[in-house]
A = this chain, B = another copy of it.
Amino acid sequence: MKVKIGKKILNANESFAEKNRRIFAKNNILCFNMISSPGSGKTTILVRTIGELAGKIRIGIIEGDIQTDLDAQRIRKTRAPVVQINTKGGCHLSAAQVNKAIKLLPLDRLDIIVIENVGNLVCPSVFELGEAAKIAVLSVAEGDDKPAKYPEIFARAKAMLINKIDLLDLGAQIDFNIKRVEKDARKLNRKIEIFHVSAKTGDGFKNWCSWLMELSKK
C-alpha cells in the first residue's frame, strides 16, 4: 500500500467517511482519530482522559486492533461506552468499519468519540474515517526523528501528544530532543498543537483536557 493508493479504494472509503461525518454532525459529536506507532500509549492516554473529564464531557471510544479486545477491556473499566473493531490483519481502520461501530454507541449521550486506530504510524494517516481531527501520539521512547521520517500523520494532525515525558528524567538513557521534534512537526504543519504529557503520572493532562473541552464547546 502506498499513500498514493488507488483512487477507487479511497473513494469507496470517502463515501463511508461522509456518512460518518453526517452522523456525528446530526448528533453534535466531536470525533477524533488517534494515530501512533504500537505502544506509544494511546489506550493509557484515553483511560486517563476519560477519568479527568468524568462529569464534564461524555466520551465514547472505538478501539481498532488487528486482534484481541485487550484495549477495549481496559476502556470498559472506566465505564465509558466502547466498541472493539478487529481488523483481522488489516493495517488501518476503514470508514465502513467505523460506520458499523458508531451504530453500537449511545450517540445521544456522547459529546466526543475517540477512535483509537490500529498501532501503525503509516497507513491509518490516509484513510479518513469522518473525524473532525486527527491526533498524533509519539512517545519519547520512540526517538526524536519520527516526524522527519514519518511525516504524513504529523502533517495532517490537529494536535500531537508527546507521551511518556516522565522518562525524560532519565537523562542520557533516553535520547529525545523535544525541540527537534517540535521544529520538525511545525515545519510540516505550522498550526499543530503540541502537548507534553505522561499518561502514567498525569503530567500535562490539565492542558490537554482543557483543549478538548474548549473544542467540544465550539
- Contact surface of A with B, Cβ cutoff 8 Å: 1-4, 37-39, 65-68, 70-71, 87-92, 118-123, 139, 141-143, 145-146, 148-152, 164, 166-167, 170, 173, 200
Q: A1-B123, A141-B164, A173-B200 are in contact. Are A151 and B91 (CB under 8 A)?
A: no
Q: What is the predominant secondary structure among interface residues of chain A facing chain B?
A: loop
Residue from the list B91, B121, B166 in contact with A119, Cβ < 8 A? B121
Q: A118-B122, A119-B150 are in contact. Are A143 and B68 (CB under 8 A)?
A: no
Output the least CB separation between A156 and chain B (Å): 13
Check B146 against A1 for contact (C-beta < 8 Å).
no
Check A70 against B145 for contact (C-beta < 8 Å).
yes
Check A143 against B91 for contact (C-beta < 8 Å).
no
Q: How far, in angstroms, from A90 to B5 measured CA to CA in the complex? A: 9
Check B166 against A38 for contact (C-beta < 8 Å).
no
Could you list 11 examples of A-B contacts with CB < 8 Å?
Answer: A2-B89, A3-B88, A37-B142, A38-B121, A38-B146, A39-B146, A67-B151, A68-B145, A68-B149, A119-B150, A122-B123
